[in-house]
Structure 1
Amino acid sequence: MFKQTFKTNFIIKQFGKLISPITTESKICNILATNLKLDGNAIKILHENKVDSKLRKIPEEQIIRNCVILQNMNVRLDKVELLIPCLKLQPKTLRNRILIFKEMGVKSINLYNIRRYFSYCRFLLLMQKSTSYFKKLFDIPRNKSIMKIIFSNVDLTYNEIDKYIIKNETHTTIGYYYQFCIMYYQKHHMKLDNKLFHKRKKFKYVSLTEMTRLLDILKNKCQLDEKFLEKHLYVLNIDVNNVEEVLNELNTNLNEKSVIDLIKLYPRILLHDISKIKNTFQLYQNFDLQNQSHRSILQGFKINKDTFIERYTDFANNLELDVWLKHPRLVFMLYYHKSITNRLTYMKHLNCSNNANTHTYLSNKDFFLRYIEGDLSHTAATKHVSYILKKEFGDNKIHLLSSIKKHPFWKSIPLLRIDKTIKYLKKYFSIEDICKNIQIILYPRSLIHDTLNLSYKEYSPQNGYNFTSTQYLALCLYKLEQKYHFSGNGVWEVEISVFKSNLFEDVYELDNLIERMNVDENEVMNLSGEAWFEHLLQ
């Protein structure tokens, strides 16, 4: 038998699910029939107009919301083939257009007047018509004022309306006149006036009913005063339903900040869809990023979920960047992912990536160039070492910083090496053991590894020694420093000590100490971990 190959895309990824194209068309038609109560003839027309291919890329949630808007606002569905371009509109745009028609006195609204077909938009075309033509088209009495009709929706009486404005109604287009009414209401009743605000095209056609409702929520529920609104006038163009969803469904406190506090810090959070905001908050919880700075928290809303996870995973798999996964500025680093990876690649070529910190990655260009040219050197600054101690040992171990600072070269140790040394030690020793010998984190892993192996062999139980893990680690630190006459030079990757060790003298001193360590009656064995450490460093 002949085999026929079909070039078919079996699955498509949409709404976070895998959906088969075979069921997509029936699913969309089922959504339309359920939410718009369409009959069999209407469904047949939609099939003929290839509703599947035209609506496949639109999120299911948007289709449902638009259907609900059309149903609740009693839009006539006479020509069901015009339904598809209407469903492609954003829910906010669709609702605004319908409300604007209603506010201007249009009693019966059909799909034809609100649709958009490629570059042709019937709604915008109607807004360019004269007020007299608009009244005639929608059977509005000629002697009835459009302004009175508009303001009747917000309970403004005739006495409160400027009669001069009403007289100018016949000398302009209906769209311009509607905008003029909105400007009048904003200035005299909302007490908001900004000429630049009205010049922006995206604010041209905003429903007065929606704006009034939105203003009430922003002032009363979000606790935003008029000065704040004047400074952030774009919030008057936010989808009021989305604002209500944010306030009702987002009850999470992040970094001791409530939703109201976040709105005041970053009003643009209201521009994001509630599902995206929830996803971002969930990511912060999943990755334990509750300690992020407020600016970092807000920056996270600009990154979609998949990109966030991808970049976080990239950092986690990077030896140079995974050290900063718990840093308060991590989300900033994720946002500037491309810039940071480019800088890291550049620093690797110059062999200076081990000394980089968060400021190196996020600083401006001039600062970064000074760093790679050698004018600046970032190593073990107090705040960065504190961050590493908190990350690896917990908040209650921050006092160990004072012991680390006693080392003469603690500021010269690369942060990345400190982090790697701690992770290496945690594989074989408990946190308490490491904390009792905290200065060992300043030493290279290779030296620690070699010294520990020699100590295990030389002072093993088979040879009559019975040391604890804390004592082995203390002995390792002692032997490392003894080699360099306790000058601190043991921290360098390459030996730079100017001292020439006396081998016989060193061996004698070490053996003498070991004998004292191994005698049970000796008072040294009865010392606590910290006292033991201090004794070794005497």
Structure 2
Amino acid sequence: MLKTICRSFSSKVVFENVKVSEKQMINANFLAKLFGISHVKSSGILQKHKELLSISQKDAFNTTKVLASLNYPVEEIPERAMILYVNELTFQNRHEVLHEVGITKNRIDMNLLFKYITVVNKNVSFLMSNGYFPDDFDVQQKLCDCFEDIHVTPSDLTGNMPLKALRQEVLNKYLSIKLKMTKKENEKMWTSYSRVKHKSFRSVQKMMNILINDLNFSNERIIKNVFLLYGDPENLETILKTIPTIGGEDVKQVLYSRPKIIMTSASAIRQCLDHLKSFNIPEQAITRCTELLTLGPDTVLERLKDLNNVDEFQALITNPRVLRLVHYQSKARLRLDYLQHLKVRCASLHILSCSANAFAKFAREGSDRTKGRDIIFFLVEKLKKDPSEIREQLSRHPNWCHVPAVQAKQCYEYLISKKFKKIDIFHNMHVLLYPIARIDEKLKMLQNNDAYHDMNLNVNYTQVSNRQLLTLVLYIIESEYHFTGDGVWNESHVQPMENFNNLLPDFPEGYQKIYKQPPISTESQRFNIL
């Protein structure tokens, strides 16, 4: 007893003095401090077991701490250094399983934990004859007694079956009673989610009770998401206690609608939410893409950073569904490159993150346009106006859905840099649809009094307000395109003309022409972006 207390105290002192980096890998200095050994010995361990160099300091520290909490001698770990390769939760579960099956207490040492897979693959009779169980011990009855909420009766099984198979049979019986699982559903579970067979019965029961009593999962929903049975019930309890809401919604409802989040650690969820906050993305956005919480926090952070490195993604940051772009970012990047190769400019957030079939349909049709939502969301955020106001004004231009959000963003930033106020931009919103080079050219032209004289305007350019200046820019650009609205395209994007009404005063009515869609490139088959 005194030896155990001293060992626990010694381990505690060691843990408190070790500085752990979450991202750095194990090195000789770290091992020396963690186990109180010489630098020479720790270097020798890493030379002998080079695989350990791929383990993070945090993982090694947590594994060591768990072994100490289970009263295993920490000082013996350097002699079995490869034990650090096993996750701390795995050790906790293995320890619990070995106790559940009734293996003699003094046989459950660190070596047995490490060789757990070998042991559970042995027949029960072999383990019995080798002293792993007490004499005349009924392993199956011991396993059946593990279940507290359901009475499970032992079957007529022989001792010539592997321990893991015996556990599987008993668990099958429990699930068939508890969840009314059929034999076919049991077989499907073991085929798709074989990790359940290594989960302790206590953990399975506890997880099931939380799902049923706290999250209101029906039997059918648990069976449909049976992977939850190898989740960590303690982690789920921590989520429910420490994260009551996500994006303003009850966390229980979020977990019910997206069960896979239950497999994410509570700390990872909190880190993801903190990352959103640091990038000024409202937490409410998570409700439109709760799948994001199934990614690691480091992955989320890197993808959020990447949003600021791609102009097309920057323009979509204000979109309420921007987190879909984060979740499907790899696919979105490939699709964006593909569309740019085809000279398609209007890569909306929906197209970049939609299903493969929807994207294929968009690419086949070759319609270089969006539904305008991305530009509306951007302008709502920047101009602080109601979405209906923005849409009503933009929709007066027939080609506004053919302009990508990134172009509107760049044009907005250009006008702001030229000291135009937001209210001036709002009243001349269509100017954001035009290429910056064209706008810049007209602004320079309107700094000369001759331009006003040519338009029969009896004013000096210094008398023109910024709002009037933007109106004149719009008028001059479109007069060059016969007031068709085709001035929104760069010279490299030749488009047929369409009519639009009431964009500027005195625009002619009744001028129409059929819009022809550009052909899709035959090279599209070469790109695997679906």
Partner of 1:221: 214
Instruction: Please tell me the residue identity of whatever aligns with 2:82.
Output: P
Q: CA deviation at 1:122?
A: 4.9
- Report the TM-score when normalising by structure 1: 0.73
Pick from 174, 177, 181 the counterpart of residue 170 of structure 2: 181
Instruction: Please tell me the residue identity of whatever aligns with 1:401.
Output: R
Whether the 8 Å contact between 1:79 and 1:111 is mirrored in structure 2 is no
Structure 1 position 237 matched with structure 2 position 235: no
Q: CA deviation at 1:185?
A: 2.4
- CA–CA separation in structure 2 for the residues paired with 1:127 and 1:279: 39
| 1:488–1:63 Cα change, 3 Å | closer
| 1:46–1:219 Cα change, 3 Å | farther
- CA–CA separation in structure 2 for the residues paired with 1:449 and 1:260: 54
| 1:472–1:185 Cα change, 3 Å | same
Partner of 1:450: 441
Pick from 376, 382, 402 the counterpart of residue 392 of structure 2: 402
Moved more, 212-221 or 49-58: 49-58
Partner of 1:26: 32
Q: CA deviation at 1:332?
A: 3.4
Q: Per-residue displacement from partner, 1:510-532 (whole Å, max 9, x unpaired)?
A: xxxxxxxxxxxxxxxxxxxxxxx
Q: CA deviation at 1:49?
A: 9.1
Q: CA deviation at 1:91?
A: 2.2
Partner of 1:203: 196
Give the 5 Å matches for 1:419-498.
419-428=409-418, 429-458=420-449, 463=460, 465-481=462-478, 486=483, 488=485, 490-494=487-491
Structure 1 position 347 matched with structure 2 position 339: yes
Partner of 1:162: 153
Partner of 1:39: none
Secondary structure of the residue aligned to 1:320 is: helix
Two-structure CA RMSD over aligned residues (Å): 4.1
Partner of 1:383: 373
Instruction: Please tell me the residue identity of whatever aligns with 1:66.
Output: T
Instruction: Please tell me the residue identity of whatever aligns with 1:425.
Output: L
Give the 5 Å matches for 1:45-56.
47=41, 50-51=44-45, 54=49, 55-56=52-53
- CA–CA separation in structure 1 for the residues paired with 2:397 and 2:120: 79
- CA–CA separation in structure 2 for the residues paired with 1:20 and 1:133: 36
| 1:382–1:435 Cα change, 3 Å | same
Q: CA deviation at 1:209?
A: 1.7
Q: Per-residue displacement from partner, 1:134-189 (whole Å, max 9, x unpaired)?
A: 265135131x42233334444489xx5536x2x53545343322332222223234
Structure 1 position 85 matched with structure 2 position 120: no
Instruction: Please tell me the residue identity of whatever aligns with 2:332.
Output: I
Partner of 1:58: 55
Whether the 8 Å contact between 1:327 and 1:387 is mirrored in structure 2 is yes
Secondary structure of the residue aligned to 1:178 is: helix
- CA–CA separation in structure 2 for the residues paired with 1:336 and 1:360: 11
| 1:59–1:489 Cα change, 3 Å | closer
| 1:469–1:396 Cα change, 3 Å | same
Whether the 8 Å contact between 2:478 and 2:487 is mirrored in structure 1 is yes
Give the 5 Å matches for 1:109-120.
109-116=107-114
- CA–CA separation in structure 1 for the residues paired with 2:67 and 2:92: 8
Q: CA deviation at 1:133?
A: 3.9
Whether the 8 Å contact between 2:292 and 2:323 is mirrored in structure 1 is yes
- CA–CA separation in structure 1 for the residues paired with 2:161 and 2:482: 93
Pick from 259, 266, 284 the counterpart of residue 274 of structure 1: 266
Secondary structure of the residue aligned to 2:471 is: helix
Partner of 1:35: none
Unaligned runs of 5+ in 1: 1-12, 31-42, 499-532
Q: Per-residue displacement from partner, 1:182-213 (whole Å, max 9, x unpaired)?
A: 22223234655532224553222321122222
Q: CA deviation at 1:236?
A: 0.6
Q: CA deviation at 1:66?
A: 3.2
Q: CA deviation at 1:261?
A: 2.2
Q: Per-residue displacement from partner, 1:331-387 (whole Å, max 9, x unpaired)?
A: 3334444443334334334332x23323433456666566556x3313252434322
| 1:178–1:406 Cα change, 3 Å | closer
Aligned length: 468
- CA–CA separation in structure 2 for the residues paired with 1:484 and 1:123: 76
| 1:137–1:341 Cα change, 3 Å | same
Partner of 2:517: none
Partner of 1:125: 119
Pick from 120, 124, 139 the counterpart of residue 146 of structure 1: 139
| 1:341–1:79 Cα change, 3 Å | closer
- CA–CA separation in structure 2 for the residues paired with 1:44 and 1:316: 46
- Report the TM-score when normalising by structure 2: 0.74
Structure 1 position 317 matched with structure 2 position 309: yes
Unaligned runs of 5+ in 2: 1-18, 454-458, 498-502, 509-530
Q: CA deviation at 1:64?
A: 4.0
Partner of 2:92: 95
State the structure with bigger RCO (CA 8 A, min sep 6), 1 or 2: 2
Moved more, 420-429 or 79-88: 79-88
- CA–CA separation in structure 2 for the residues paired with 1:497 and 1:92: 64
Whether the 8 Å contact between 1:169 and 1:177 is mirrored in structure 2 is no
Q: CA deviation at 1:425?
A: 1.9
Q: CA deviation at 1:237?
A: 0.7
Identity %: 19
- CA–CA separation in structure 1 for the residues paired with 2:481 and 2:76: 90
| 1:139–1:44 Cα change, 3 Å | farther
Instruction: Please tell me the residue identity of whatever aligns with 2:376.
Output: S
Give the 5 Å matches for 1:494-533.
494=491
Q: CA deviation at 1:281?
A: 1.9
| 1:211–1:368 Cα change, 3 Å | closer
| 1:162–1:365 Cα change, 3 Å | closer
Instruction: Please tell me the residue identity of whatever aligns with 1:134.
Output: M
Instruction: Please tell me the residue identity of whatever aligns with 2:291.
Output: L
